[in-house]
Chains A and B, each alone.
Chain A
Amino acid sequence: MSAPLLEVQHLRKTYRTHGSTVTAVAGVDLTLPEGGSVGIVGESGSGKSTTARMLVGLEAPDAGRVLVHGQEQVAQPRGRRERLARARALQIVFQDPYLSLDPRVPVGAAVDQAVRLHTRLTRSERRSRVLELLTQVGLGEREAALLPRRLSGGQRQRVAIARALAVEPDVLVLDEAVSALDVSVQAQVLNLLADIREQTGVGLVFISHDLAVVRYLCAETLVMRAGEVVERGATDRLLREPEHPYTRLLLSAVPRPGRRSEVDGGTALSGRGVPAPGR
């Protein structure tokens, strides 16, 4: 029996501000099988982005472990070798490709940087590898020569995905990676991610506030609120028969045609009547 692709155990993070302690993530566990996909859904302040940042080593957890293929990942890698190994295990794509790509570097060169760091290919091999990666995300030689600002938002997000894939990571973490895209382009990127998972077997951790988007990509879903996982399960089941009142609140807040929302606009107290997780 081999170890799962990704195993996260009791991941926890607290911050101290003005003398008080805020628990951003209060112990997240999750397991991802080979080629699997898991969604983490929650609103702002739920701890979903902090979880993503701990997964890829941008934030050191106070407690808990991240294992990829049974191999424990260093919380804060030091030195070139540790950093490269950490990067090969998990890669991340952020919401805003404007901020994650260097505005002065043509996008082909940005992808090439990642290839150069992680492989020993020759210059001409690298060139064809970069083209192959860009082709995989639906871009070509013409786009490779352009600076990020010459590309549309959807194209830039494809570049960010291509650069993450250049490393051939075991797991790809997507933190609201399609939220800023127009809906027609968002659909293209969602289909692209589904295809890539099928072709490469990369595991996906998909973080989003949008339950409908998660439904299209993830077999399993975790619902987070105020740092805690309040419900988890197969995505279809979770959407069909939500058990936790907060999941039900989230679902009832999704706008549907011809039906005014069931959430009442009376007073400004989000999640009234929903038991808040203890701190």
Chain B
Amino acid sequence: MSGPLLEMSDVWLRLPEVARRPVLAGVDLQVGAGEIVGLVGESGSGKSVTARAALGLLPPTAEVEGRVTVDGVDVLSAPAADVRRLRAESVAMVFQDPRAGINPMRRIGDHLTESARLTGRRRDLDAARARALELLDAVGLPDPRRHLRQYPHELSGGMLQRVMIAGALMGSPRLLLCDEPTTALDVTTQAEIVALLGRLQRERGMGMLFITHDLDLAASVCDRIHVMYAGRVVEQAPALGLFEQPRHPYTAGLLASTPAIDGGGTRLRAIPGVPLSLLEDPSGCVFAARCDRVLDEVCRVLAPPVVADGVRSVRCARPLEARTPRHALRTECVS
């Protein structure tokens, strides 16, 4: 048996110099092998920090509590050498802007074989070059041999993102973290990259954490989705269930304010107000100020409870009605 590839439990993260509220507040998250888990939220919700925490890539001033394990290694307390090995062998990350992650002065081949060159012997370098060719082919680039000798500026954004994905796969990771991997791309290119990631994930049985601000995209890619708001996971559910029956008022609001290509109506139901800034630290529920179901004497005073039924959970004192029978829900109190 094997546990989840990525497990975060009750992770808190504070940045005392820049943020008055916790940047992450009690985040629980699991990604198993062969599973795609979505992390959805607006800017400042903490989704990128969550992914970085999985790699142990946090600012030096960050104060972290809780447990983050990747492939059984405790990222927050393990010796630096172990964490480096983890980053080299078990986890890889694909970022939003492929051009920001590649040296424009070096050839694609240099980028892909960099770690072999830095650590290895001649034989390793030959193996790395062969693997780079194989992966450039696997990510659907038409002429791997030529691409190895090309510079980043010779490729379009979509092609370069394929190179970055090939680079992420060089170490045969078991867990792939994708942070808005298609946000900088055109819609048709986005569709190609998403299909590619899905295929690679299935073929290689990787676990994948897919971060996006786009609920529709998350719902088309992921098995399960976590919705984040102001550093909290406010709702967690299977992708379709979340979409068809949101239980947290924020999830429902996000869905209502997303323009639909085949929806009806001419007016969007916008969520009033703006996302919580890092300088605000309200007591009670972080979403209370924008919530249309707020109960002043409860939501503005007490931290909302997590209501869970084994499949999905919602962090709200007054969640939207579930169609599942009430007795199937149990309430867990958290401080």
B273-299, CB under 8 A of A: which get 1 and which 0?
Answer: 011010000000000001000000000
**Binding-face segment, A96-104, A117-125, A177-185:** A177-185
**Binding-face segment, B52-60, B122-130, B195-203:** B195-203
Q: Measured between alpha carbons, how far is A250 from B261 in the docked complex, in Å?
A: 11
B220 close to A184 (CB less than 8 A): no
Q: Measured between alpha carbons, how far is A262 from B198 in the docked complex, in Å?
A: 12
A215 close to B193 (CB less than 8 A): no
Q: Measured between alpha carbons, how far is A246 from B296 in the docked complex, in Å?
A: 51
B220 close to A182 (CB less than 8 A): no
- Pick 30 A–B contacts, CB within 8 A, sort by A: A43-B187, A44-B186, A152-B277, A182-B43, A183-B215, A184-B275, A185-B42, A187-B259, A188-B271, A190-B259, A190-B270, A191-B267, A209-B186, A249-B188, A250-B188, A254-B261, A257-B240, A258-B220, A259-B220, A260-B221, A261-B194, A263-B191, A264-B195, A265-B191, A265-B198, A265-B199, A268-B141, A268-B158, A270-B186, A270-B189
The interface size of chain B toward A, counting residues with CB under 8 Å, comes to: 56
B259 close to A155 (CB less than 8 A): no
Residue A269 at the chain B interface, CB threshold 8 Å: yes
Q: How far is the CB of A9 from chain B (nearest CB, A)?
A: 29
Q: How far is the CB of B290 from chain A (nearest CB, A)?
A: 8
A203-216, CB under 8 A of B: which get 1 and which 0?
Answer: 00000011111011
For A186, list chain B residues within 8 Å (CB): 257, 259
Q: In the complex where A184-B42, A194-B267, A213-B259 touch, is A257 in contact with B239 (Cβ < 8 A)?
A: yes
B268 close to A216 (CB less than 8 A): yes
Q: In the complex where A256-B220, A258-B220 touch, is A265 in contact with B270 (Cβ < 8 A)?
A: no
A27-54, CB under 8 A of B: which get 1 and which 0?
Answer: 0000000000000000110000000000
For A265, list chain B residues within 8 Å (CB): 140, 191-199
B186 close to A185 (CB less than 8 A): no
For B157, list chain A residues within 8 Å (CB): 44
Residue A154 at the chain B interface, CB threshold 8 Å: yes
Q: How far is the CB of B246 from chain A (nearest CB, A)?
A: 12
Interface hits, B135-190 → A, CB 8 Å: 139-142, 156-159, 162, 186-190
Q: Measured between alpha carbons, how far is A273 from B214 in the docked complex, in Å?
A: 28
A interface bracket (residues with beta carbon within 8 Å of B): 35 or more
| Count, A-B residue pairs, CB within 8 A | 159
For A264, list chain B residues within 8 Å (CB): 192, 195
- Among residues of B, the one whose C-beta sits closest to the C-beta of A186 is B257
Q: How far is the CB of B119 from chain A (nearest CB, A)?
A: 30
**One of A153, A194, A255 near B216 (C-beta < 8 A):** A255
For A269, list chain B residues within 8 Å (CB): 142
For B274, list chain A residues within 8 Å (CB): 152, 154-155, 185
- Among residues of A, the one whose C-beta sits closest to the C-beta of B243 is A257
Pick from A154, A182, A255 the residue with the most CB of B within 10 Å: A255
Q: Measured between alpha carbons, how far is A253 from B257 in the docked complex, in Å?
A: 21
For A20, list chain B residues within 8 Å (CB): none
Q: Measured between alpha carbons, how far is A90 from B59 in the docked complex, in Å?
A: 46
Q: Measured between alpha carbons, how far is A215 from B261 in the docked complex, in Å?
A: 7
For A196, list chain B residues within 8 Å (CB): none
Q: Measured between alpha carbons, how far is A258 from B195 in the docked complex, in Å?
A: 13
For A252, list chain B residues within 8 Å (CB): 191
**One of A191, A216, A271 near B188 (C-beta < 8 A):** A271
Q: In the complex where A182-B42, A182-B43, A194-B267 touch, is A239 in contact with B261 (Cβ < 8 A)?
A: yes
B191-235, CB under 8 A of A: which get 1 and which 0?
Answer: 111111111000000000000011111011100000000000000
Q: How far is the CB of B178 from chain A (nearest CB, A)?
A: 14
For B253, list chain A residues within 8 Å (CB): 184
For B191, list chain A residues within 8 Å (CB): 252-253, 255, 261-263, 265
